[in-house]
Amino acid sequence: MTKKDERNNAQASGGLSRRHFLGATAAAGVVGATGLGSAVMSRESWAAAAEEARNKAVIHPGELDEYYGFWSGGHSGEVRVLGVPSMRELMRIPVFNTDSATGWGITNESKDVLGHDNTFLNGDAHHPHISMTDGRYDGRYLFINDKANTRVARIRLDIMKCDKITHVPNVQAIHGLRLQKVPKTNYVFCNAEFVIPQPNDGTNMENLEDHYTMFNAIDAETMEVAFQVIVDGNLDNTDADYTGRYAASTCYNSEKALDLAGTMRNDRDWVVVFNIERIAAAVKAGNHKTIGDSPVPVVDGRHGSEFTRYVPVPKNPHGLNTSPDGKYFIANGKLSPTVSIIAIDRLDDLFDDKLSDARDVIVAEPELGLGPLHTTFDGRGNAYTTLFIDSQVAKWNIEDAIRNYAGESVDYIRQKLDVHYQPGHNHASLTESRDADGKWLVVLSKFSKDRFLPAGPLHPENDQLIDISGEEMTLVHDGPTFAEPHDCILVRRDQIKPAKIYSRDDPFFASARTQAEKDGVTLESDNKVVRDGNKVRVYMTSVAPTYGMTEFRVKQGDEVTVYITNLDTIEDVTHGFCMVNHGVSMEISPQQTASATFTVDQPGVFWYYCNWFCHALHMEMRGRMIVEKA
């Protein structure tokens, strides 16, 4: 570290002076860390600037937010939709979890997506990312990983429902996930984190040499796994570039250790860079293998392969972020106070073996503070890195960091802001696209400690909203969240085009239509019971506040499927269907068809009712299922 670096860091981490400045303005969170320059600003003008920033985040009743935010739900397995800057929660999209309100995991339409033989009730959703065309969000799909059960899901952003879930074979624990940005999102890139035996069939559990993990690419349209790439070490986070040719992933376990101490043995792990062009060409030419029963093409990207290059970086790196100008991959050091900046325009030379050392692609390794996890960008040349251990966000200038690394003595730290507490991801508005606009920054803090009314030993997380439009970052809002958003993505509201009612030919309930056609039933008009052995299909319509049928008869032991078509055309008039004592509940939004299948074991009378409030006579929207003794 140079003298200048030392001074930068001393200023940046602030010590006593930073604490002192905090003083009475702590609530505003305005912390000057650019040295004396900031101290010149009076307490009064800071307070005024903070007040102005906070006012920008106030969305008055009846007003709409400027941004959609999509939050992962962590081990709750869902995705949440927020309005930003108000941080109001707009919607929840169940994905890997079961949801009582919408019937996700209960309805046949959701089982078509989850798999009818799916037995998993949990998921661990970390990384939500929106499909792109030419490096800009196109608003079609959102993709998200499930670390818990090695899956990747796709959400249709027109109806805000999950429409595909893919189980990735041959690997365990899909963690990092990012999308190809250019020319468009053809591939969803995702990392399997844990090293496992190959094949993992109980025959080979001791010989670690043969154990490995893989980088995966999923076809964004078909959601089939397009290829897998064997790597050395493990894989953590990933991102893609703006040429469509490269992706890069962090590895924290180059040691292939099984224990904690072992994963920290090496001072450097690495970033593995994938040459997507070469991999796709090899797969197309049939130069690949397969594993076990899986048809997925597998290529070997371990050291020495033409498909990958390994760039050593310190130490147990975590986040991997591409700058929105397309110039850099930034790997966040976690156990090193640094981030490593990789120049993407040097990767051609790296792959053509024109560099004497793989680390020649690194153009700077700025020291930022303790526990750098993730970096985001404002589109004006500044980066914002979360410092988990310091509980801060460091704002720094990328080109200044590069000049400093080249030997010039340059201050690259612009500001450090306290956040509460222990931030994981952060995300600036539109930061993963060419449109990064540098207005808002969300910091997803893992601990909230004393920031909210206590609600038992389990605490919420704290997603903090920070105004980054000016020179100083200003904290404007605390947002408690339930377990456990890992990450979020902010898009302009005009980039998403949600439907207000369903189209009657929506593929989301195509299988109901197929069955109705086989039964000679018109979903839009018929109220009819069709018996098929001991399978009974009950078709009914709904118009607030009635179902098309207020009674139907079945026999004990029947397997009953109820299909409901909501004929209401008025926005927001959603009905529900709940069959009492049968574990059946579902949403039927305007012009939607939904269905659920259950077995009737008990003879007797069972009421069904509408459980989405739809009308003044909502309570009266009900009917009876009469189950005759077998």
Task: Tell me which residues touch ligand RUQ (CB under 6 A).
Answer: 126-127, 175, 237, 318-319, 373-374, 424-425, 486-487
Report the residue number, 251 or 554, with the smaller CB distance to ligand RUQ: 251
HSE-up of residue 582 (Cα within 13 Å, Cβ side): 32
Phi, psi of 425 (to 5 degrees): -75, 155
User: Binding partner of residue 575 among ligand RUQ, ligand CUA, Ca ion, none, CB under 5 to 8 Å per kind?
Assistant: ligand CUA
Q: Which does 269 bind (CB under 5 to 8 A by kind): ligand RUQ, Ca ion, ligand CUA, none?
A: Ca ion
What minimum distance in Å lies between the beta carbon of 38 and ligand CUA? 56
Q: In the complex with ligand RUQ, which residue's Cβ is closer, 54 or 334?
A: 334
d(CA 127, CA 568): 36
- Give least dist CB 352 to Ca ion, A: 29
In the complex with ligand CUA, the residue whose CB is nearer, 123 or 623, is 623
d(CA 238, CA 258): 22
Nearer to ligand CUA, 607 or 613 (CB): 613
Residue 46 in marked binding region: no
396 is in an annotated binding site: no
Closer residue to ligand CUA (CB): 452 or 613: 613
CB closer to ligand CUA out of 412 and 547: 547
Please work out the total of residues on this chain that contact Ca ion, with binding judged by CB under 5 A.
3
DSSP character at residue 269 = E
Which of residues 298 and 373 has its CB atom nearest to ligand RUQ in the complex?
Answer: 373
Least Cβ distance, residue 250 to Ca ion (angstroms)? 10
Q: What element of type H or E holds 109?
A: helix 108-114
Whichever of 213 and 592 has its CB closer to Ca ion, that residue is: 213
Query: In the complex with ligand CUA, which residue's Cβ is closer, 238 or 591?
Result: 591
Per-residue tokens: 15: 């010590």
Residues 249-278 that bind Ca ion (CB under 5 A): 263, 269
The least CB distance from residue 485 to ligand RUQ, in Å, is 10
Maximum separation of any 2 CA atoms in the chain, in Å: 88
Q: State the nearest-atom distance from the C-beta of 624 to ligand CUA, in Å.
A: 16
Q: How many CB atoms lie within 10 A of CB 541?
A: 22
Q: How far is the CB of 498 from ligand RUQ (least distance, A)?
A: 26
Residue 415 CA, chain-centre distance (Å), reads 28
Residues that bind ligand CUA in the complex, under the rule CB under 6 A: 544-545, 575, 610, 612-614, 618, 621
464 binds Ca ion (CB under 5 A): no
Query: In whole angstroms, how close is the CB of 168 to ligand RUQ at the nearest point?
Result: 16
Match 């990983």 to its residue by tokens.
145
Q: Which two tokens mark 516?
A: 């109705």
Cα–Cα distances in angstroms (integers) from residue 27 to residues 30, 47, 50, 363, 419, in the given order: 8, 10, 9, 38, 11
Interatomic CA distance for residues 189 and 185, integer angstroms: 10
CB nearer ligand RUQ, residue 66 or residue 487: 487
Residue pair 402/364 in contact (Cβ under 8 Å)? The answer is yes
The answer on whether 318 is annotated among ligand-binding residues is yes
Q: Which residue has the tokens 């101490």?
A: 261
Q: Pick one of 316, 336, 474, 591: the residue that binds Ca ion (CB under 5 A).
A: 316
Pair 195, 253: CB distance under 8 Å:
yes
Partner from ligand RUQ, Ca ion, ligand CUA, none contacting 316, C-beta within 5 to 8 A by type:
Ca ion
Question: Which entry of ligand RUQ, ligand CUA, Ca ion, none binds 154, CB below 5 to 8 A by partner kind?
Answer: none
Residue 318 interacting partner from ligand RUQ, Ca ion, ligand CUA, none (CB closer than 5 to 8 Å by kind): ligand RUQ
SS3 letters across 468-537 = CCCCCCEEEEEEEECCCCCCEEEEEHHHCCCCCCCCCCCHHHHHHHHHHHHCCCCCCCCCEEEEECCEEE
Residue 288 marked as a ligand binder: no
Are 577 and 562 in contact by the 8 Å Cβ rule? The answer is yes
CA pair distance 172, 178, nearest whole angstrom: 17
Q: In this structure, are residues 230 and 298 in contact, taking their beta carbons and an 8 Å threshold?
A: yes
CA–CA gap between residue 553 and residue 600 (Å, rounded)? 11
Residue 126, contacted partner among ligand CUA, ligand RUQ, Ca ion, none, CB below 5-8 A by kind: ligand RUQ
Closest approach, Cβ 57 to ligand CUA, in A, equals 35
Q: Of ligand RUQ, Ca ion, ligand CUA, none, which one does residue 263 interact with (CB within 5 to 8 Å by kind)?
A: Ca ion
Rg (CA), the chain: 27
The rounded distance, in Å, linking the Cα atoms of 321 and 341 is: 10
> Which element (helix H / strand E) includes 615?
none
Question: Does 610 appear as a known binding residue?
Answer: yes
In the complex, least distance from residue 260 CB atom to Ca ion, rounded to whole angstroms: 10
Q: How far is the CB of 438 from ligand RUQ (least distance, A)?
A: 22
Tell me phi and psi for residue 94, to 5 degrees. Answer: -65, 140
User: Which DSSP string corresponds to 272-299?
Assistant: EEEEHHHHHHHHHTT--B--TT----EE
* Residue showing the smallest CB distance to ligand RUQ in the complex: 424
Contact 204, 196 (CB under 8 A): no
* 486 annotated to a ligand binding site: yes
Residue 337: closest CA among 306, 378, 372: 372
d(CA 243, CA 227) in angstroms, rounded, equals 20
**Based on CB atoms, which residue is closest to ligand RUQ, 315 or 528?**
315
Q: State the minimum distance, in angstroms, from the CB of residue 93 to ligand CUA.
A: 22
Contact 251, 270 (CB under 8 A): yes
Q: Which is nearer to ligand CUA, 13 or 566 (CB)?
A: 566
As measured in angstroms, the least distance from the Cβ of 589 to ligand CUA is: 11
Q: Consult the annotation and say whether 575 binds a ligand.
A: yes
The answer to whether the annotation marks 420 as part of a ligand binding site is: no
| Host H or E run for residue 114 | helix 108-114
If you ran DSSP here, which 8-state letter would residue 601 be given? -
Which positions lie near Ca ion, rule CB under 5 A? 263, 269, 316
Residue list for the binding site for Cu cation: 126-127, 175, 318, 374, 425, 486, 575, 610, 612, 614, 618, 621
Mark the binding-site residues, compressed into ranges.
Answer: 126-127, 175, 318, 374, 425, 486, 575, 610, 612, 614, 618, 621
